[in-house]
Amino acid sequence: MNERRVVITGIGVVSPIGLNKDDFWKNILAGKSGIKNITSFDTTEYGTHFGGEITDYDPKLFFKDFKDARRADRFTQLGMGAAKMAVTDSGIDAGNLNPERIGVMVGSGIGGLITLENNHTLLMSKHPSRVSPFTIPMMISNILSGMVSMEYGFLGPNMCIVTACATSNHSIGEAWRIIKFGDADAIIAGGAEAPIAPMGLAGFGNMRALSTRNDAPEKASRPFDKDRDGFVMSEGGGAVVLEEYEHAKKRGAHIYCELAGYGISSDAYHLSAPLPDGAGASRCMNMALSHAKMNPTDVEYINAHGTSTPVGDMCEVKAIKRSFGSHATNGLLVSSTKSMTGHLLGGAGGVELAACILALRDQVAPPTINLENQDAECDLDCVANVARPAKITSALSNSFVFC
């Protein structure tokens, strides 16, 4: 049963550089930054004043009932957009298929942070009776998967994985596993995040994890660059439709690519820092290659986690070298699209898998922008600043995480 093949038939993206997959991809290839000063609240007293904030997004377009949009936290609003675009792109329809065989796994690393902040303020400044009765369902991370399933009547496996910045990749990978095992024929999977809130900015800022390049926000996310000083927090979501190959073929679906392997591991090392030698991340990549029955030289492109933190980028480079050997510095292309989108935390992996899929489709490697002075210890071909035509038959997407 676990030899069932899994393919991707739909893509949905809501990001700081595009509110759909086509605009997202056009701006990725153009090397456009989506990072700018935050406008949703006053950042004067914060160390960082910018982020990947999404504007001109109307969540009511993605809910059957506009009241449902109003009763959803921003992470759910963004994630619903990504999920619905993925479903539309795939053409999958519960009305013509067995809804018990279609599932949803769209997670979030933080969940309803904005809802929590707003209602805690009401609780402290007003009265307990002023707290919205929708507070708890709006906050919980699994509400997004639930609302997607209710929107379409999908009755299959429904789950929310919460693993911070690896949430999307774990959701997609475990959906892959469920389909291979035979417990579903299709699953909408990915993640969404809305961390641009006072608590999010203060919390990550006080960890000294964020870039403070306030004089040039569009240049703040600079993975693998010697002058990188932290990641850039962003909001958005990414989702894909995974399907068993014969199921997709039978209904005449457009197949973007096959998802052939998935790896997961733990460093068991530190609350927020990766293993210095990259061993844990390397085990993930090795497992994915093993599942796919592929050799390291079969992979032509890696969409790196590449957050633009001094330690993280260097450790990822070491991990790639451990897994790919001489191929890592001889023909393998590695880029970080976070240089343009910033870091969408739980939504990052869904958006970045979309970039991998479109790179396969169009045979072009996305750039790492702002790579003006490449760190000597990050000595891979990081597709500096300009997208590059390339033969890409297999790609890998990395997502790593605190703890």
Is 343 designated active site? yes
Across 218-261, the runs of DSSP E, i.e. the strands, are: 236-244, 257-258
Distance CA 342, CA 335 (A): 13
| List 247, 284, 305, 356, catalytic entry | 305
Residue 329, burial from CB neighbour count under 10 angstroms (0-12, 13-18, 19+): middle
CA distances from 2 to 159, 180, 184, 254, 260 (A): 20, 5, 12, 23, 12
CA distance 259 to 134: 37
Query: Which residue of the set 343, 356, 378, 382 is catalytic?
Result: 343
How far the first Cα of the chain sits from its last, in Å, is 33
CA distance 297 to 270: 32
List residues bridging with 388 in a β-sheet.
365
Residues 398, 280: Cα–Cα separation, whole Å = 12
Q: Provide the β-strand partners of residue 368.
A: 384
Calpha distance 219→216 (Å, rounded): 6
Active site residue 284: no
Q: What's the DSSP call for residue 381?
A: B
Please tell me whether residue 330 adopts helix, strand or coil conformation: coil
Residue from 354, 267, 360, 386 nearest 316 by CA: 267
* Active site (catalytic) residues: 165, 305, 343
